[in-house]
């Protein structure tokens, strides 16, 4: 992930032919929207991002294709610990600027600039861009998502929740709303707001019952809350669905908690 994946993508992009049309066409916009959703569904499989790049190019509109590359690079830049590879963000900005050369005022392109600033930790610059975009279309889904991400990165639980509500209302489809639920669930977990995290993940999994990652996160929350029995119940469900390494780790932690106290201390003294 992160640095390694970005380098692989950049190697392929150096050989990619861009569409000839420098106009932001309706066909290009439609392909762009589909590609954005594809990138947002990325869970670690590089093929998802390669497919998205193909979709962006299929619109035959250079500004949207360039912006699509930028959005893809931003997603690829995320490291396992949640940080972002700076080199990937810088490369993404170069592609945004290519898109802006002929189409400088399209919100769905410029919102990527705001995201890059956010993940770089340049919150003030991100705020300036977002303020400008609000004047263009204050009800835009991608603008609301960027505002939510900015609040999350700043650790503002209340503001992040408010922007999440706005984004959920402006979302165009169920997958977008489900991704928002999961993202807010992760944020609440990071902030230690476990009750709200549980609400988010339970709502998300209700509509995505085969998503073992969501079931696992619910199990983790119950474990952190001290409800080991519920944690075990959810974790067993995960392991029936998929041999998921984090679930195996949780299984071991649950077993240690369920050991009789005397045996647990005995094992400690043997060390």
pLDDT at position 259 is 80
Sign of torsion over alpha carbons 175, 243, 206, 195: negative
pTM (2 d.p.) = 0.90
Task: Look at residue 261 and tell me whether its pLDDT is greater than 80.
Answer: no
Task: Look at residue 124 and tell me whether its pLDDT is greater than 80.
Answer: yes
Residues 6+ apart with CB under 8 A from 87: 3, 6, 77
pLDDT at position 141 is 97
Q: What is the pLDDT of residues 149-193, one digit of tens each?
A: 999 999 999 999 999 999 999 999 999 999 999 999 999 999 999
φ/ψ of 189, rounded to 5, equals -60, -45
DSSP assignment of 98-116, as one string? HHHTT-TT-HHHHHHHHHH
Task: Look at residue 99 and tell me whether its pLDDT is greater than 50.
Answer: yes
pLDDT at position 269 is 45
């Amino acid at each position: 992930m992160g640095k390694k994946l970005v380098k692989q993508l950049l190697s392929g992009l150096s050989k990619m032919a861009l569409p000839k049309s420098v106009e932001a066409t309706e066909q290009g916009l439609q392909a762009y929207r589909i590609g954005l959703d594809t990138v947002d569904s990325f869970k670690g499989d590089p093929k998802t991002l390669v497919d998205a790049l193909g979709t962006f190019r299929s619109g035959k509109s250079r500004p949207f294709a360039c912006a699509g590359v930028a959005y893809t690079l931003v997603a690829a830049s995320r490291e396992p610990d949640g940080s972002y590879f700076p080199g990937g963000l810088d490369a993404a900005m170069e592609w945004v600027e290519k898109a802006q050369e002929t189409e400088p005022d399209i919100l769905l392109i410029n919102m990527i600039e705001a995201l890059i600033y956010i993940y770089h930790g340049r919150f003030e610059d991100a705020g300036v861009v977002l303020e400008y975009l609000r004047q263009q279309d204050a009800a835009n889904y991608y603008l609301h998502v960027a505002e939510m991400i900015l609040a999350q990165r700043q650790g503002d639980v209340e503001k992040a929740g408010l922007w999440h509500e706005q984004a959920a209302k402006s979302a165009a489809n169920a997958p977008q709303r489900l991704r928002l639920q999961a993202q807010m669930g992760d944020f609440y977990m990071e902030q230690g707001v476990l009750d709200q995290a549980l609400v988010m993940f339970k709502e998300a999994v209700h509509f995505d019952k085969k998503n073992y990652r969501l079931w696992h996160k619910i199990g983790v929350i119950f474990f952190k809350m001290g409800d080991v029995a519920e944690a075990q119940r959810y974790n067993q469900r995960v392991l029936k669905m998929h041999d998921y390494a984090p679930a195996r780790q949780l299984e071991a932690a649950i077993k240690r908690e369920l050991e009789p106290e005397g045996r647990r201390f005995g094992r400690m003294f043997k060390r």
